[in-house]
Chains A and B, each alone.
Chain A
Amino acid sequence: MNKKILSMLLVLCMVMASFAGCAGDSGGSAGSGAASKAETSANAGTNSSEAESGADINFNEAPYEINFLYLVAQEGANQSKVAEAVSALAERELNMTVNLIPMTFGTYNQQISMMLAANEPLDLFPAWSTNYSTYIDSQYVVDMVPYLDYAQDAIAVLGDDAFVGYIGDFLIGFGQMKERSYPAGLVVRKDLFEELGYSVDDFSVTTDDYTSFDQITDLFAAVKEAYPTMVALDGTSIMGYQTESYMDNLGSVYGVLENYGQTTTVTNWFESEQYRTFCDIARDWFTKGYSSSDIAVNQDSGEIKIKAGNCFSYITNVKPNTDVEKLAQTGYEVEVIYLSDKMKHTNAVNSGLYVIANASKDPQKAMQFLNWTYTSREFEDLINWGIEGEDWVETQEGLAAYPEGIDATNVGYHNDFGFIYPNQFVGHAWEGNPTDIWDQYGVYNDSLMVSKAFGFTFNSTVVANEEAQLISVYEQYGKDLAFGAVDIETTLKEFNDALYAAGLQTVIDAKQSQLDEWLAEQ
């Protein structure tokens, strides 16, 4: 009898335990609403000086909770402190509490599609240009056009670049304040470079005269002779792979406007003289052993290779303060040799935009919040550098730096991701940068060659199937050709044949017709 009771009890326990997983998670947001009611009444008298946002902040209603997704370099120990500080700040100024959702690039790529598909609570998040058409098609994002009244600050800050987020009549989002161009550059180790007797002024590489690239070949030859164990060129990019630097790629690399966008005819870059030359140069470097023989399958970035100590240079997108950035990332001082002209095209500006998610309960409030982030110095410093006093302090020159005793290994929160936050120019610049670095950016941006198709974004849903196949072909041949790992003559022909078989002409025609329509409206 006792055994029976015991066994029944055990069985009941097991069944109960299996229901333990059914607990709901509604507990979270209920608490914050109650706590902020007290603050609301205290703030009722405070008049928000943010009246220029086009609408008065109503402090008499309950605070709205904004779910703000943003990218971080790593998960910091001070994350929760930063989140509280941001929330308190937003509450003071906007009567909104903020739920910060930090993600690293890797996590973001994996999670964002699931979050969007599941309609998880989300107001604002950064999106990439490759996805705009699919997001609009799947209704993951909200059109910002009805809320432009609330975005006046953002528009003022962004200036000419404010409306690159238009895809047809749909305004998908606003961009970041950063460099407006992705020129290709060779990042070299300064110490070895100077030991060989070179200086940056010796080099002037331009696409007007391809023999100027011989200067680089000679540099590599010198490096190989002087340092036989060094790999002269490594990393994950090279001229033929720099699809943002030499032409206006109209959103994807299939059908582009060549010569820095100074034409309005869409062509196939892979059939051009320029591409052929780049592949031949790369093949030369490959066969002579200047580039690593693994370079076509290498997955490690140039920064990692330089940091490891046996790589001399790598090619990547560069900007005014690349050398400061790379010093922090690799530990070596570097110099930058530009390998292309600097051009501004739509994709350079709208490659990443902040968008309002469909799951947002109040897009108007989301718009107000986003607008505020473009002008709030405190917000920018909080999410980029962390808590003042703990993670950073202001130096005499007005830059931000680590406090006494803190460095990159033990700081509680540090990102240096200004390029992916709404407005890094309104926050502090990091130590090592010139004090007028933001002005320098401004000058740099104004000096760029502008593509004829600037402002135009291609809507790719009409050729979605072709693009899926083209991606497959590009992945098969793209790297080997660009890095010169295979014989160029035969493989290039195969590549182009495969592209046309996958529907390249359809994509080119679609791009051309949309572009012509857009040009006619200008």
Chain B
Amino acid sequence: MKKAKMQRFRQFIPLYVMLLPGVIYLFINNYIPMAGIVVAFKKYNVNDGIFASPFAGLANFEYLFSTNDAAVIIRNTLLYNVAFILINNIIGIALAIMISDVLSKKLRKLYQSAVLLPFLISIVVVSYIVFAFLSHENGMFNNSILPLFGMDTVQWYNDTTWWPLILVITNCWKGVGYGTLIFIAGIAGIDKSFYEAAELDGAGKWQQIWRITIPCLIPSIITLLLMSIGRIFYSDFGLFYQVPQNSGSLYPVTNTIDTYVYRALIAAGGIGRSSAAGLFQSIVGFTLVMVSNGVVRKLSVDNAIF
């Protein structure tokens, strides 16, 4: 038994050696720095360095929770992420199904690139595109579109009512391409004979999608979902800071944990406190991933990530 194992090991040595650089990099870049987590519990000063600085217990977490905004920022971060996950996945699947059905190969490639393009645009550029639409003075909405319907101009950057919608739409436009491509790859892997059999049995388009495409996409959906859940306490800083042009009146609906920490600690030296915020986000994300993975494993073992 042992001899067979040794032999198998020797057979795979080239593969392990190929794996080595990646593993070393992962270890150095991702695992060793974990020791730095202690800085969230210390009062850091540069002479003592990270490990010799005096302990501060949970003091660094206070500013995050003692503020009146704590409930607002946590609520915003969570709810927006839930909305993003739902909308991006539903629209991503819809787009993937539509693109996969396009007959012309050239057009299909064109659509794939077109749907991915916004993902590659910097969020700062996007914030100015949005500004071009919503600017009070020169924006397209105030100057062309609203007068067309005979409605009054809106002070977009001072009015909180529309911003949840605006941010969800912007985030979807920018980020949906990424998931769509993964879903397209997933759909390409579905055996064509399923569809042929379904057609023979008289299944309509909707039924084919509902009964064949989506069930076969479940592994991809679950993987993407679990990854998103792990980041549910993180937010895209550019989206919540730049796109609303950092307008104060919009804070109740655009303030998230990341923007709050940034604004509070923009003066240098708050290393302990910003690490505390980051640690908080990571712990919650980690817990959620473990819990969700456990739940998925109970429902269908194959689809769990680990």
Which A residues lie at the B interface, using CB under 8 A? Answer: 7-8, 11, 14-15, 18, 112-113, 116-117, 119, 130-131, 134-135, 137-140, 231, 292-294, 296-297, 299, 358, 465, 468-469, 471-472, 475-480, 485-486, 498, 501-502
A465 CB contacts on chain B under 8 angstroms: 62-63, 66
A7 CB contacts on chain B under 8 angstroms: 14
Q: Which of A112, A135, A138, A485 contacts B155 (CB 8 A)?
A: A485
> How close is B246's CB to chain A, nearest CB, in angstroms?
7
Q: How far is the CA of A485 from the CA of B250 in the complex (A)?
A: 13
The stretch among B39-47, B85-93, B185-193 that forms the contact with chain A is: B39-47
In the complex, whether B148 has a CB less than 8 A from a CB of chain A is no
Contact B136 A293 (CB under 8 A): yes
Contact A131 B267 (CB under 8 A): yes
Contact A479 B68 (CB under 8 A): no
Q: How far is the CA of A356 from the CA of B188 in the complex (A)?
A: 63
For chain B, give the interface size range.
35 or more
Q: How far is the CA of A469 from the CA of B25 in the complex (A)?
A: 39
B158 CB contacts on chain A under 8 angstroms: 296, 480, 485-486
From DSSP, what is the main secondary structure of chain A's interface residues?
helix
A472 CB contacts on chain B under 8 angstroms: 67, 69, 260, 263-264
Q: How far is the CA of A80 from the CA of B244 in the complex (A)?
A: 41
12 contacts between A and B (CB under 8 A): A15-B20, A18-B21, A117-B44, A135-B269, A138-B45, A139-B45, A140-B269, A296-B157, A358-B47, A468-B63, A468-B273, A469-B264
Chain A residue with Cβ nearest B62 = A465
Q: How far is the CA of A135 from the CA of B267 in the complex (A)?
A: 10
Q: How far is the CA of A293 from the CA of B135 in the complex (A)?
A: 8
A294 CB contacts on chain B under 8 angstroms: 135-138, 157
> How close is B71's CB to chain A, nearest CB, in angstroms?
14
In the complex, whether B17 has a CB less than 8 A from a CB of chain A is yes
In the complex, whether B248 has a CB less than 8 A from a CB of chain A is yes
Interface centre among B17, B157, B268 (most CB of A within 10 A): B268
Q: Which of B21, B24, B268 contacts A116 (CB 8 A)?
A: B268
B260 CB contacts on chain A under 8 angstroms: 472
Contact B44 A292 (CB under 8 A): no
Contact A480 B137 (CB under 8 A): no
In the complex, whether B270 has a CB less than 8 A from a CB of chain A is yes
Given A11-B14, A477-B248, A486-B158, A117 contacting B137 (CB threshold 8 A): no
In the complex, whether B113 has a CB less than 8 A from a CB of chain A is no
> How close is A486's CB to chain B, nearest CB, in angstroms?
6
Q: Which of B44, B63, B135, B270 contacts A469 (CB 8 A)?
A: B63
Contact B269 A479 (CB under 8 A): no
Query: What 5 pairs between A and B have smallest CB-CB spacing?
Result: A134-B269, A293-B136, A18-B21, A113-B268, A468-B264
Interface 1/0 per residue, B127-159 and A, CB below 8 Å: 000000001111000000000000000010110
List CB contacts (< 8 Å) of B38-60 with chain A. Answer: 44-47
> How close is A516's CB to chain B, nearest CB, in angstroms?
26
Contact B14 A292 (CB under 8 A): no
Contact A471 B264 (CB under 8 A): yes
A469 CB contacts on chain B under 8 angstroms: 63, 66-67, 69, 264
Contact A478 B245 (CB under 8 A): no
A476 CB contacts on chain B under 8 angstroms: 248-249, 251
In the complex, whether B283 has a CB less than 8 A from a CB of chain A is no
Q: How far is the CA of A296 from the CA of B248 in the complex (A)?
A: 9
Q: 15 new A-B pairs (CB below 8 Å) besides A18-B20, A131-B267?
A: A112-B268, A117-B46, A117-B271, A134-B267, A138-B45, A296-B158, A299-B246, A468-B264, A472-B69, A472-B263, A479-B247, A480-B248, A485-B155, A485-B158, A486-B249
Q: Which of A119, A134, A358 contacts B270 (CB 8 A)?
A: A134
Q: Which of A11, A112, A471, A501 contacts B266 (CB 8 A)?
A: A471
Contact A468 B265 (CB under 8 A): yes
Given A134-B269, A465-B62, A478-B248, A139 contacting B46 (CB threshold 8 A): yes
B273 CB contacts on chain A under 8 angstroms: 468
B157 CB contacts on chain A under 8 angstroms: 294, 296-297
In the complex, whether B18 has a CB less than 8 A from a CB of chain A is yes
Interface 1/0 per residue, B8-45 and A, CB below 8 Å: 00000010011011001100000000000000000011
Contact A130 B267 (CB under 8 A): yes
Contact A297 B245 (CB under 8 A): yes
Q: How far is the CA of A135 from the CA of B260 in the complex (A)?
A: 22
B247 CB contacts on chain A under 8 angstroms: 296-297, 479-480
Q: How far is the CA of A294 from the CA of B270 in the complex (A)?
A: 33
Q: How far is the CA of A438 from the CA of B268 in the complex (A)?
A: 34
Contact B67 A471 (CB under 8 A): no
Q: How far is the CA of A502 from the CA of B264 in the complex (A)?
A: 12
B18 CB contacts on chain A under 8 angstroms: 11, 14
